Each structure stands twice: as C-alpha cells, then as structure tokens.
Chain A
Amino acid sequence: MPIVLLAQPAELFQPGNRLKFGNYLFCSNDYLRAIDEFQNFLKYKKNDTVFFKIGLAYEKMRKYDIAQLYFASYPEKNAFYPEARLEFHKLFFLKKEFSALRENVARTGKNFEYYPEIKRLSYISYLFDDTDLPDSNNFKLWFNNSGQKKIIRYYRIKLNLPQKSLTVAGMLSAVIPGLGKIYAGETGDGITALIVNGLLGFLAYDNFRAGHKFRGWLFSGLTAFFYAGNIYGSVAAAQIYNNKIKTGYKQELEMFLERENYFLPDYKNLCK
C-alpha cells in the first residue's frame, strides 16, 4: 500500500522508536498494537525479550494457542528458555487442559529452574478436575507457609463440596413424587410435583370408579407422564445443584489464583 511505503522513512518508524512505542503499548494493555510494533522491530533486529513479550501479549489477550506456540519455540540454549517453558506449562493451565499439564510436568526434570512452580500448577489443577485429589501433604510440600494455608483451605472445601447423588434423587422421586426434588434443594418444586401427581392420580382413580373409562385412562396417562417427568427432573435438579456449587467454587478459586498470580513470578520489571 502506498501510504505505508511512504510512512517507512519517517524517524518515528525507525526500529528503536518502534520498540519504545511497542513497549508503551504493551504496558498499557494495548497488546494487539504492541505485537505489531514488536514484529516490525524484529524484522531489523533479533531480540529475545521482545519475542518473549509477543508471547505474553498473546497470552494476555487469551489467544492461548498462539502464545503457546511462541513459548514452545525457544531452544534450550536461549537465555529465556526457563521462563518460556514456565509460560508453556502455565498455558495448559489457562486452557484448562489439566491432564496435558500434568503429563508435561511429569516429563520435566527436577533440575529445571522453575520446577517448584510448575509442580504447584499441576497440584492446583487437581482442584479444578473431577479426578481424585492427591494427598494434602503433597500440596504442603510445594507451597510456602502463607500459600499453604490458603491453598489447603481450597483443598478442604473441594474435599467437602456438598454434592447430591443423581441416583438417590431419581430413586426418591420414584418412591414419592417430588421427594427427589426436595432432596436436591428445590422444596417448592417437590411439593408441587407431589400435588400434581396426587391430583392427576386421584382424578384417574375417581373417573375409573365412576365408570368413565376414557377419562380414567386419560388421567392415568397424564399421571404416568408427569411421574416420569418428575423423576427425570429430580435427577436434573441434583445435577444442577452440583454444577452450581462446583461453578461457584471454581470461580472463586480462579479469582483467588489470579490475585496470587498462580503462585508464579510475575514480570513486573518488563513494565517499569
């Protein structure tokens, strides 16, 4: 494009100035524009910090896959290799690919500079999963004192997260319509279900008794329909109850981790 060609000779577009401007954009969260400046700068000069910042910018914009590609591309000899590797692992965490994170951590040697950090991440990841929690001593091992207290608190909550059994909810409603709903915490819906089923059942019985066969069968059918629907609904209600609690827990945990920066070192010196 002619405009861009004309723009190039200007002093403000010289690599050094591009870098300065890019850094300013990066530090004011204007990541997409920052990446553009950085990439233009890198055309003229190789720079590991800048390359690293591009990865971070993608990470901040939640473009996790691209960011991970950037961090995966660091050769072992590079000065930024440990940090890039750390971010590479963190990205599995951010992408919520917890088992992939744990596999990668298990493959990493203990002499890796940020081994405690990624080990912490892999333990925290258990708090998000539905898999069994590892022993709490493992958690204690990798966190410092203040971190230990906080994370163990979440560990305990997760361990005792109130959950309702879907089977029990369904069975209860099969025995007495609505009971499963009450068990799942929906008392009003449970009582309603009992009344609806009772009323329809009574109408079926009453009509048969009075010799109204058609109406008798009609109400029997409706009773069966709502009876089955209520069993299904009780199972669903128990699942919703569980999901609601799990989601609330995860949200709180996520906010906590964000505040603690995932127990990782942050790169404050990049924006001083």
Chain B
Amino acid sequence: MKFKLLLILSFVYGNLIAQTDWERWDADNSVFQLKGIQERDYSLDKSNVGMMALTALRDLYWFAFSDLDGDNCPFHPTCSSFFVEAVKKTNLLQGLLMFADRFTRDTNFFKGFNHYEIDETGKFFDPVDNYTLTGTYIRKQSYHKRKYKLK
C-alpha cells in the first residue's frame, strides 16, 4: 500500500516538473505576501431573483449566526454554501432534498468513519457535484500535490 502511494506521488511529482515549460509563461510580478485567512464571500448571486433572494438569506444567516458561533462545520463546503450551490446547480426542490441529506449526514456523530476525503484545512471534502445524480464524481486530489519533499 505504502509503495503504491509512493508510486502515485512520484508520478504526480515527475509530471509537475515536466509540465512547467509545456506552456509559455511570462515574468511573475506578484508581490511578497503571506497567506491570510480566507474570508467569506458575501456577494449576492444576481443571475436571477430566486438566487438573489437565496444568497441574501444566506448572508443574513452568516451575519446573524454563523459568523458569531464559531467554526462548527466539519464540511467543505459548509452546509449553507452547499445548499446555495445545490439550488444553483439543480433546482429549489432538488436543492432542498440535497440539503436535508447533508444536514442528516452532519448530525452523524461518527462521520469521521465515513469515507470522506480530507482537504487542506482538515475539513471533510464533500462537493455538491457528487450529489446532483448526474454521475459526476469529483475527488480531492490536489491535496496530495504538494506532499513531495522539497529541497
């Protein structure tokens, strides 16, 4: 098993090195910056009235409760973001069903034993697309990308 993992990692690593020059690139003019804490995106979705109302509701929930009661959600995306994204990607009814399911899964005391992948911030990676019943299946692979040893 360990060997297999090593094989996958070395494969990823080899590819990363080779790919640098497979596309032309320009000078990098970025500024020296330390990585900050990611902030919530409060912006409204203006694609239609329904989504606007929904994102406004979400913002209200964030402002009045979620931003005040600490970091409780073990998932990425959080339940509120999951709901908004689910409605956007499907429809209100399906979005509600997906949310009900996610909420139930959140109340599971033993979700650590579930087969969720863990993302960079230590949250359970649980993307909306995997639940839309379209057959899409996204895995969190980028997490392993930077695991090789730096010199």
Residues of A within 8 A of B (CB): 29-33, 61, 185-186, 188-189, 191-193, 196, 225-226, 228-230, 232-233, 235-236, 239-240, 243-244, 246-247, 255
Contact = CB atoms under 8 A, between A and B. Distances in A.
Contacts, number: 85
Given A32-B24, A33-B21, 5 more contacts: A189-B104, A192-B107, A233-B97, A236-B131, A240-B130
A193 B21 CA distance: 51
> What is the predominant secondary structure among interface residues of chain A facing chain B?
helix
Size class of the B contact interface (CB-based, 8 Å): 20 to 34
B84 interface: no
Nearest to B97: A232
A188 B114 CA distance: 7
Contacts of B103: 226, 229
B21 A30 contact: yes
A239 B130 CA distance: 8
Contacts of A225: 96, 100
Given A229-B99, A236-B131, A244 B115 contact: yes
Nearest to B101: A233
B104 A192 contact: yes
Contacts of B18: 29
Contacts of B133: 235-236, 239
Contacts of A191: 108
B135 A31 contact: no
Contacts of B130: 236, 240, 243
B89 interface: no
B113 interface: yes
